[in-house]
Amino acid sequence: MPEDEILNAYQKTDYIVFDGKKSFLLNVGLLPNEEWINYLKSRECNFFFFITAWNPFSIPHDPLENRYKNQILESEIQKQEFPYLMGLGKSQTSEWEEESFCVLGGNLEIASRFCRDYSQHAVLIGEPNKAPELHFPH
């Protein structure tokens, strides 16, 4: 598990999911709003995970390098034919943000593999009617 400072930052992050003109706000430990729950149910989605390739192991990288790594991640999500939405992980103090993806499907094992493959400390996981939580596969 990462250092307390990093863990605290993850817990105080707004995980924003975009679907066209709509956006949904997810936070660790807080039950999402009904609109997000209904969105998942309408897509028969019983599990989701929020992942990025930005800043592996929380070490800042050049934005161009981060975007390139995220393009590789997006290609892998597409290759595995998972439905997904664009996302943004953003500190609640607006100190940083990371372009991300919300994968609608999969399971804990798949989310953990993506997390390890893209050198992330954690992945946000969730199910309808449950508060999203951080999972640390390392």
| Number of domains into which the chain is organized | 1
* Predicted confidence (pLDDT) at residue 1 exceeds the cutoff of 70: no
Tell me which residue range forms the domain holding 8.
Answer: 4-135
Sheet hosting strand 97-104, strand order edge to edge: 22-26, 13-19, 84-91, 97-104, 48-51, 123-126, 133-135
Q: Which amino acid is residue 134, in one-letter code?
A: L
pLDDT digits (tens, 9 = 90+) for 74-132: 999 999 999 999 999 999 988 899 999 999 999 999 999 999 999 999 999 999 999 99
Asked if 136 and 125 touch (Cβ cutoff 8 Å), the reply is no
What is the band of 4 on the pLDDT scale with cuts at 50, 70, 90?
Answer: confident
**How far is 48 from 103, CA to CA, in rounded Å?**
5
Give pTM, 2 decimals. 0.94
